Amino acid sequence: MASYKDKGIKMTPQRMAIMEFLDGNPDHPSAEDIYMEVKEKYPMMSFATVYKTIEVLKSRGYLLELTIDPERRRYDPDTRHHHHLICVDCKKIVDIYGDFPVNVPEEAQESFELVGNHIEFYGICPECKKERRKNNGNIQM
Ligand SMILES: [Zn+2]
Ligand SMILES: [Zn+2]
């Protein structure tokens, strides 16, 4: 929990609880997920508090907002450069580290100076693969 200290963010017990839940969390939770989880401990927690805290962390660069899930925005406390793989069935998001050779067309590189990339992969996780086999005997996208 040391990593969120000294970041100049005004601390309240509620914010503390939200940050504790996010710190090192590999699940890429949505605002709703965070709210449901933290409310267990702090029944007085409002969704607005969760949302505001997310915005503060995001604006200071301590939280990444992911748009890979078409249904909900997801949040990632790991701000190191990495890519994501999402299960198209259960929307589980997995981190992928490593550099990939990405070929950007020459003309795009002429007008733009490239500063980074983020690759989104889509797949079916092992659990959902099993589930699909059970349901229809084969895998369909
Ligand atoms: Zn899945
Ligand atoms: Zn991630």
pLDDT tens for 53-81 read 999 999 999 999 999 999 999 999 999 99
Q: Cα(24) to centroid of ligand 2, in Å?
A: 10
Same-domain pairing of 103 and 49: no
Counting ligands in written order, the one closest to the CA of 79 is: 2
Nearest one of 91, 64, 94, 92 to 77, comparing CA atoms: 64
Counting ligands in written order, the one closest to the CA of 25 is: 2
Tokens coding 65? 């907002």
Same-domain pairing of 59 and 74: yes
pLDDT score for 140:
56
CATH code, domain with 75? 1.10.10.10
How far is Cα 40 from Cα 60, in angstroms, rounded to an integer?
Answer: 27
Return all residues near 7 (Cβ < 8 A) that are at least 6 apart.
60, 62
- For 97-125, the pLDDT digits (tens) are 988 777 888 888 888 888 888 899 999 99
Q: Answer yes or no: is pLDDT of 2 > 70.
A: no
3 state SS of 70 = coil
The number of domains in the chain is 2
- Asked whether the beta carbons of 139 and 88 are under 8 A apart, the reply is no
Q: Answer yes or no: is pLDDT of 6 > 60.
A: no
pLDDT score for 135:
85
Q: Where a domain ends, among 28, 46, 79?
A: 79
How far is Cα 62 from Cα 11, in angstroms, rounded to an integer?
Answer: 15
Q: Where a domain ends, among 27, 49, 79?
A: 79
Same-domain pairing of 52 and 90: no
- For 36-59, the pLDDT digits (tens) are 999 999 999 999 999 999 999 999
pLDDT score for 1:
43
Same-domain pairing of 72 and 91: no
Same-domain pairing of 69 and 36: yes
Q: Cα(122) to centroid of ligand 1, in Å?
A: 10
Q: Cα(55) to centroid of ligand 2, in Å?
A: 18
Q: Cα(110) to centroid of ligand 2, in Å?
A: 30
| Pairing mode, strands 83-87 and 120-123 | parallel
